[in-house]
Amino acid sequence: MTPATAAPQHRDGDRGAVLVEFAGLFPLVLVMLAVMWQCVVIGYTFSLAGNAADEGARAAAAGGDCQAAALRVISGAWDASVSCPLEGDVRQAVVELHVPVLFPGAFSLPITVTGRAGAVEEG
């Protein structure tokens, strides 16, 4: 037999390399997905704090309960504190939310997001 007509030989040295590479990279992919999800949770916390402060300030300016209005927007799984000081004719609402790790109700990061809003008192 001449070398040109011989059947090609398979190299067994590369067998399973894709599986090993996938097994090695899969934990890194999971960590990156968790980091990206945590960024989404942080952004949502900012949005939620601002919205709750707006609701609280509007309710307080109309003579309602500022804390109840602000906490109505926030589910019970979030660690929140609300204060509603009056500064001149403007009713302020300050909402502080602790950023959870990956989902609300779990551990919190040592980050507090503050949302502030104000509305002029009516009447």
Mean of the per-residue pLDDT values of the chain: 85
Locate the domains of the chain by residue range: 25-120
Q: What per-residue confidence (pLDDT) applies to 25?
A: 87
pLDDT for the residue 39: 93
At residue 26, the 3 state secondary structure works out as: helix
In CATH, the architecture of 25-120 is 2-Layer Sandwich (3.30)
Residues sharing a CB contact under 8 Å with residue 101, sequence separation 6 or more, in sequence order:
38, 107, 108, 109
Q: What are the tokens at 16?
A: 């399973």
**Residue-wise pLDDT tens digits, 77-102:** 888 899 988 888 888 999 999 988 88
Predicted confidence at residue 107, as pLDDT, reads 83
CA 45 centroid distance within chain: 6
Query: Cα–Cα–Cα angle for 70, 121, 62, nearest 5°?
Result: 50
Q: Which residues of the chain have pLDDT under 50?
A: none
For residue 87, the model assigns a pLDDT of 84
* pLDDT at 94 (0 to 100): 93
